[in-house]
């Protein structure tokens, strides 16, 4: 096991002690992965670990090193790794001899899954909800949603938002705000997607921020829908993340969300809410859109819904259910183990009021981060909801923008990520210029573990800044 010991000087606002630091050398497993896997691989480049076992909040690599996992399958592992209720549910499917592959034929497990899911939906949506099981990824759910709304409305265009992320297939990529992954596909992505500014308060696209920025954004959308000279066709749908994840953990203003819902309803435009990462108690509500008290027309769901196994669904209002039999299909849409595990997770979340716990733990972590901010001006913006939090790193010596905020510090972020990893903390980056450190821990994280994560992050931040 590769370790090193480092003494970080005690400074205000930081929990600094003698630390045992991991050192990383390329193991045979990692070398083979690098040699044999695609150049498109992503996480192993930033998190060079070969994992052996996992439990709850923790993972262990083949060298016996232990890490706190605050990536958690990019938000998939609501209850952490190998939670007992998930393992029990999977075992029961195997022990009962249930067919593991059923296409879209029903089973008692599938029926229970649907009832459990509908039981979590707000009543106004559950009363008229329909569900489509898709292929096993969130991307496939997005593709299905696009097909659904275009069929129902007879219109082809879709409005998406700057900073949005909805998957990596052709249709989903067309909705993505990030330009990098789209460049090689440009000729294939000209399919009627119009991008709008997202209400990003810290970097307001209108240079206003606050209530003024929200009003300007909604006015712009209203004009787009109502002005016959706007140059944009009335869309089939608007697709939005209530909290942008990959885009930098940006929570939408709740008044803006209510205004968006009002405008789309008035115009007869379907509102698609992407809850793939934010759903199932992560933001402090069962679904992130509940913070605004709105009822979307379509909700796309994946990640946590499968209890760590691949599963994706689209839930939508009955008025959209006009597509023909076979209009959307997929071989792997009948994953019985995923449905059983998903049901177990949904019941656990509800019975143990995990949403409230996530809200409390998110507040606790946010408090720690704001204390660190007093001593580290590089912590520019701390934001999110529940246990979906992000910290935008900034260069305090850089030229401020129109709102007086220093520029993003993309060079610092990977240094912080690496220093966290050396201390046994797995975090991911995102946002513009890769400058946002993201916290997506399992929702079962305890207060003491939150405190420990914050202390590790503080030490890592100090070490990273010292390396600049």
CATH number at residue 345: 3.40.640.10
Beta bridge mates, 301: 313
Residue 171 neighbours by CB under 8 Å, 6+ apart: 142, 143, 146, 191
Instruction: Please identify, among 322, 351, 380, the residue that sits at the C-terminal boundary of a domain.
Output: 351
Other CB atoms within a 10 A radius of the CB of residue 410 amount to: 16
E strand intervals along 266-364:
270-274, 298-301, 313-317
Asked whether 444 and 354 are in contact (CB, 8 A), the reply is yes
Domain boundary residue, one of 330, 351, 372: 351
Inter-axis angle of helices 354-375 and 447-466, nearest 10: 30
Q: Are 454 and 439 in contact (CB under 8 A)?
A: no
* 141 token code pair: 């759910």
What distance in Å separates the CA atoms of residue 461 and residue 258, rounded to the nearest whole number? 37
Q: Which residues on adjacent β-strands are paired with residue 55?
A: 58
- Residue owning tokens 């954004």: 217
How many domains are there within the chain?
A: 2
Residues 249 and 328 in one domain: yes
* 27 found inside a domain: no
Measured between alpha carbons, how far is 337 from 109 in angstroms, rounded to an integer? 9
**CA 66 to chain CA centroid, nearest Å:** 24
Confidence (pTM)? 0.93
Contact (CB, 8 A) for 65 and 424: yes
Residue 24 domain-assigned? no
Looking at the fold, whether 347 and 413 belong to one and the same domain comes out as no
Cα-based distances in Å from 349 to 79, 207, 276, 287, 446: 9, 40, 16, 12, 15
- Where in the sequence is the domain holding 281, given as residue range(s)? 84-351
304 and 420: one domain? Answer: no
| Residues 201 and 326 reside in one and the same domain | yes
Q: Determine the Cα–Cα distance for residues 285 and 362; give it in Å rounded to an integer.
A: 12
Query: How many residues would you count in the chain?
Result: 468
How far apart are the C-alpha atoms of 70 and 49, rounded to whole Å? 14
Q: Round to the nearest angstrom and report the end-to-end CA distance of the chain.
A: 28
pLDDT at residue 231, rounded to an integer: 83
Single out the residue of 1, 407, 359, 371 nearest to residue 202, CA to CA.
407
Measure the CA–CA gap between 217 and 196, rounded to whole angstroms: 9
Structural domain includes residue 323 = yes
Query: Going by C-beta distance under 8 Å and a sequence separation of 6 or more, which residues neighbour residue 74?
Result: 245, 277, 303, 428, 440
Give the distance between the most distant pair of CA atoms in the chain.
Answer: 67
Q: Which tokens sit at 154?
A: 């007879």
Pairing of strands 298-301, 270-274: parallel
Residues 373 and 431 in one domain: yes
Q: Quick check: is 28 in a domain?
A: no
Separation CA 129–CA 125 (nearest Å): 6
Among 351, 367, 402, give the residue marking a domain's end.
351
The three-state secondary structure class of 351 is helix
Residues 253 and 304 in one domain: yes
Q: What pLDDT score does 247 carry?
A: 95
Do 365 and 448 sit in the same domain of this protein? yes
Coil vs helix vs strand at 282: coil
DSSP secondary structure letter of residue 221:
H
Output the tens digit of pLDDT for each of the chain's 468 residues: 454 433 333 333 444 556 889 999 888 999 999 999 999 898 989 999 999 999 999 999 999 999 999 999 999 999 999 999 999 999 999 999 999 999 999 999 999 999 999 999 999 999 999 999 999 999 999 999 999 999 999 999 999 999 888 876 666 666 666 666 656 555 445 568 888 999 999 999 999 999 999 999 999 999 999 988 888 889 999 999 999 999 999 999 999 999 999 999 999 999 999 999 999 999 999 999 999 999 999 999 999 999 999 999 999 999 999 999 999 988 999 999 999 999 999 999 999 999 999 999 999 999 999 999 999 999 999 999 999 999 999 999 999 999 999 999 999 999 999 999 999 999 999 999 999 999 999 999 999 999 999 999 999 999 999 999
Tokens matching residue 430: 């995102």
CA-atom Rg of the chain in angstroms: 22
* Cβ-based burial of 353 (10 A; exposed 0-12, middle 13-18, buried ≥19): exposed
Q: Which residues are bridge partners to 21 per DSSP?
A: 4
95 and 232 both lie in a single domain: yes
Helix (H) or strand (E) holding 158: strand 158-161
Q: Indicate whether 30 belongs to any domain.
A: no
Q: In what helix (H) or strand (E) does residue 74 lie, and over which residues does it extend?
A: helix 72-75
Which residue is associated with the tokens 């981060």? 369
Give me 17's structure tokens: 């002690």
Q: For residue range 258-296, list pLDDT tens digits in order.
A: 999 999 999 999 999 999 999 999 999 999 999 999 999
How much is the pLDDT for 168? 62
CA distance 204 to 216: 10
Q: Could you tell me if 166 and 239 are in contact, meaning their C-beta atoms sit under 8 angstroms apart?
A: yes
Count of C-beta atoms within a 10 Å radius of residue 300: 31
């Amino acid at each position: 096991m590769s370790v090193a010991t480092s003494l970080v000087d005690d400074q205000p606002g930081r929990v600094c002690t003698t630390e045992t630091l991991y050192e990383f050398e390329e193991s045979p497993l990692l070398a083979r992965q690098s040699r044999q896997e695609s150049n498109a691989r992503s996480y192993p480049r930033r998190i060079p670990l070969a994992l052996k076992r996992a439990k709850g909040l923790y993972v262990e690599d083949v060298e016996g090193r232990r890490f706190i996992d605050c990536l958690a399958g990019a938000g998939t592992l609501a209850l952490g790794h190998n939670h007992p209720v998930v393992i029990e549910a999977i075992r029961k499917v195997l022990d009962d001899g249930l067919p593991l592959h059923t296409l879209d034929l029903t089973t008692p497990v599938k029926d229970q899954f649907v009832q459990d899911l509908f039981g979590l939906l707000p009543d106004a949506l559950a009363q008229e909800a329909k569900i489509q099981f898709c292929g096993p990824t969130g991307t496939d759910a997005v593709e299905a949603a696009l097909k659904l709304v275009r069929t129902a409305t007879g219109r082809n265009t879709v409005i998406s938002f700057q900073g949005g992320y909805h998957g990596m297939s052709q249709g989903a990529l067309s909705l993505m705000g990030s330009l990098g992954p789209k460049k090689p596909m440009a000729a294939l992505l000209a399919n009627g997607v119009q991008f709008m500014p997202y209400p990003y308060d810290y970097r307001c696209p209108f240079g206003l921020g606050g209530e003024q920025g929200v009003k300007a954004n909604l006015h712009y959308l209203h004009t787009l829908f109502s002005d016959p000279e706007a140059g944009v066709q009335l869309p089939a749908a608007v697709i939005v993340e209530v909290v942008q994840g990959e885009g930098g953990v940006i929570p939408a203003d709740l008044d803006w969300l209510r205004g968006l819902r009002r405008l789309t309803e008035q115009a007869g435009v379907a509102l698609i809410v992407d809850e793939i990462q934010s759903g199932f108690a992560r933001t402090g509500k069962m679904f992130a859109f509940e913070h605004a008290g709105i009822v979307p027309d379509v909700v796309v769901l994946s990640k946590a819904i499968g209890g760590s196994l691949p599963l994706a669904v689209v839930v939508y209002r009955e008025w959209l259910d006009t597509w023909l039999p076979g209009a959307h299909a997929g071989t792997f849409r009948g994953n019985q183990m995923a449905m059983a595990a998903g049901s177990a997770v949904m019941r656990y979340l509800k019975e143990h009021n995990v949403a409230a716990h996530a809200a409390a733990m998110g507040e606790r972590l946010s408090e720690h981060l704001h204390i660190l901010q007093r001593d580290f001006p590089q912590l520019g913006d701390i934001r999110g909801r529940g246990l979906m939090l992000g910290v935008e790193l900034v260069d305090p010596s850089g030229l401020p923008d129109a709102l007086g905020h220093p520029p993003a510090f993309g060079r610092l972020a990977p240094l912080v990520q690496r220093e966290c990893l050396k201390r046994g903390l797995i975090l991911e980056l995102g946002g513009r210029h890769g400058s946002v450190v993201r916290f997506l821990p399992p929702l079962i994280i305890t207060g003491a573990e939150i405190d420990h994560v914050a202390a590790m992050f503080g030490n890592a931040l100090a070490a990273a800044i010292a390396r600049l």
